[in-house]
Amino acid sequence: MFKKLSLAAGAALYASVATAHFQMLYTPELLRDNGGQISLKLPFTHPSESGHVMAVDQPNAFYMIKKGKKTDLLDSVTPTKWTSASNTGESYEADVTLRGLGDYVFIYEMAPYLEASEDVYIQQITKSIVNVGSLPTDWNEDLGLKAEIVPLTKPYAIYEGGTFNGVVKSQGEPVPFAEIEVEYVNYEPNMTTNAFSEDANIEPPADAFITMTIFADANGTFTFGIPKAGQWGFAALGVGSDKEFKGKELSQDAVIWVQAHSVN
């Protein structure tokens, strides 16, 4: 009992240090009819408020998994810029070719980023799954990452008004009571100009809706009802096995992106 309480308290402490940052791994359609070349935009930013874009060192890893086979994509990552309402900052992007039906599980491991105001490093391990042809193959695989959200719902086939649920894990083990931040991509990313739209899709009724906070249960699982079509990000804070970087505290977060479709 005491152990559970202290775990929850530890998670709450972490939350106060590094919040509302999201490593994006963005392409407009996570569910596609056909393969071909897609662009992935990789800004580290605050997507629900078109917040500042943070400069991060070259990523540690970028790869995709399809039918259990891993393909390294680190060489396809190129530096670029991303523009938000707050600034134009250093960013990355990658073009990737999808061949054949099935799930393409993309994993992007950013370099640790020093949040100077808190003297804490943040490193997000981000997952996004692109499906071609509605044929499911790999979407629910547990990859045993240091920090990972394993989806229990197909992240690319959710109705507006439906739910997304997943389990927060570290190296295959559930993380009880993990604190999870949820953000909506409220400013449509423009794939040509590398910028967020100037217009918001929705107007949050209060600041508490910009970055929402939920907790996983005792088994590390969580459910979130998605009120609006579009892409939503989930970041489980400080759940990773690495706790320190260059002598400073490290918040190693697990991020996943999902897309809801409107009901017509």
Applying CB under 5 A, the residues found at the interface with Cu ion are 21
In whole angstroms, the minimum distance from the beta carbon of 254 to Cu ion comes to 18
Is the Cβ of residue 118 or residue 242 nearer to Cu ion in the bound state? 118
In whole angstroms, the minimum distance from the beta carbon of 176 to Cu ion comes to 27
In whole angstroms, the minimum distance from the beta carbon of 46 to Cu ion comes to 6
In whole angstroms, the minimum distance from the beta carbon of 143 to Cu ion comes to 27
Is the Cβ of residue 76 or residue 87 nearer to Cu ion in the bound state? 87
Is the Cβ of residue 21 or residue 169 nearer to Cu ion in the bound state? 21
In whole angstroms, the minimum distance from the beta carbon of 110 to Cu ion comes to 13
Query: Which residue lies nearest Cu ion, judged by its C-beta?
Result: 21
DSSP string computed for the chain = -HHHHHHHHHHHHHHHHS-S-EE--B-S-SEESS-EEEEEE--EE-TTTT-PPPP-PSPSEEEEEETTEEEE-GGGEEEEEEE-SS-EEEEEEEEEEE-SSEEEEEEEEPPPEEETTTTEEEEEEEEEEEEETT--SSTT-----SSEEEESS-TT-EETT-EEEEEEEETTEE-TT-EEEEEE--EEEETTTTEEEEEESS--SSGGGTSEEEE--TTSEEEEE--SSEEEEEEETT-SS--EETTEEEEEEEEEEEEEE---
Is the Cβ of residue 22 or residue 108 nearer to Cu ion in the bound state? 22
Is the Cβ of residue 124 or residue 128 nearer to Cu ion in the bound state? 124
